[in-house]
Amino acid sequence: MKKTSISTAVLAALLATVALVGCKKKEDTADNNAQPAAATTPAAPEPMTQAAPQPMAAAAGVTVSTVTVGKTAAADKSVATTALFAPKDDIIVSVRTDGAASNANVGAKLTFQDGQVAGENSQTLNTTAAETTNITFKNAKGWPAGKYRAEVTVDGKAAGTPQEFEVK
C-alpha cells in the first residue's frame, strides 16, 4: 500500500511538472518540452519546500523575552505570575516578544502531568516593536487537579521558557 501512495505522489509530481513546463515554454518544440520535464521531475518538490519557510522568515525577527502564566491581565496586558490555580480559574499565558513580525503565529499549549494536552490556542502577531500577546484558556467543567506545563511556540517553533503551575 505504501508503494501505491509513493507511486501516486511521484506520478502527480511528474504531471504537475509537465504541465508547468508546457505552460512556461510555448516557444519550445514538443520534443524539447518532454526532455526537461523528465529531467526536472525529482526537483519539482524543491520549489514547494523552499516556499514553505517564507512565512517563518516573517517571524525570524521576533524573539520571546518572557512567558508568564497568571489569572488576570492588566490594561497593558501584563500578567502577574501565578503558580497555583483553582479549578474554575482562567489560565492566561502571556508572551512578551521583541522585534518585528508580520502574521507570526504565537501559540500556547497546556500539558497535564500525564502528558495529555489540556488545551492549545494561538493568535496572529503583527508588530514592529515589543508586544505582549495573551492567550487565555477556559474550562467550563473546571481544570482537573494536578501539575501543568505551558509551552509557547512562534510559527511552530519552541520559544521562551516553558512555565509550570498547579491546579488544586
Query: What's the confidence (pLDDT) of residue 118?
Result: 96
- What does pTM read for this prediction? 0.64
Are the beta carbons of 107 and 134 closer than 8 angstroms?
Answer: no
Per-residue model confidence as pLDDT tens digits over 32-52: 444 333 333 333 333 333 333
93 alpha carbon, distance to own chain's centre: 16
Residues ≥6 apart with Cβ < 8 Å to 91 = 69, 71, 85, 110, 119, 136, 137, 138, 143, 148, 150, 165
pLDDT, tens digit (0-9, with 9 covering 90-100), for 56-99: 333 458 899 999 999 999 999 999 999 999 999 999 999 999 99
∠ CA 112-116-117, rounded to 5°: 85
Q: What average pLDDT does this structure show over 91-118?
A: 95
Give the model's pLDDT for residue 60.
57
Q: Model confidence over 125-150: pLDDT tens digits?
A: 999 999 999 999 999 999 999 999 99
Quickly name the fold that domain 58-167 has.
Answer: Immunoglobulin-like (2.60.40)
Domain ranges in the chain are 2-51, 58-167
